Amino acid sequence: MKKHNHEQMLHLYDQWRASGESRANFAINHGILPTNFYYWIRKFEQKAAPVSGFHHIPITEPSHKNQGELMASIQYPSGIRLELYSSFQNLSSSHVGLLKVLTELTKTTSK
């Protein structure tokens, strides 16, 4: 098991969040001691805990009119609609993880 620096662990943390794997399986599959990985997860989640309860996703206007194919859409009871088009190319793994969380929250609150 090798040591990882902060940037490497942050990258692995983002990969784990997007993977859906358990912490232990992800750590073992990536050559990390599970206890070390748990430490880094706790460190990143404490640092990233939003004060306001919201996560800011910067959005820029596309330079072209073609939005591409609609890939995902979430409609909240308040009428707010979140849409993700295939032309949105700069989607990081943390954004994908956030979209998964939003999707799951929508499923559980609509039941």
| Mean pLDDT within 94-103 | 70
Distance CA 75, CA 103 (A): 10
**Which residue in 60, 65, 63, 22 sits closest to 41, CA to CA?**
22
pLDDT digits (tens, 9 = 90+) for 1-42: 567 788 888 899 999 988 888 999 999 999 999 999 999 888
> 109's torsion region: left (phi>0), alpha (psi -120 to 50) or beta?
alpha
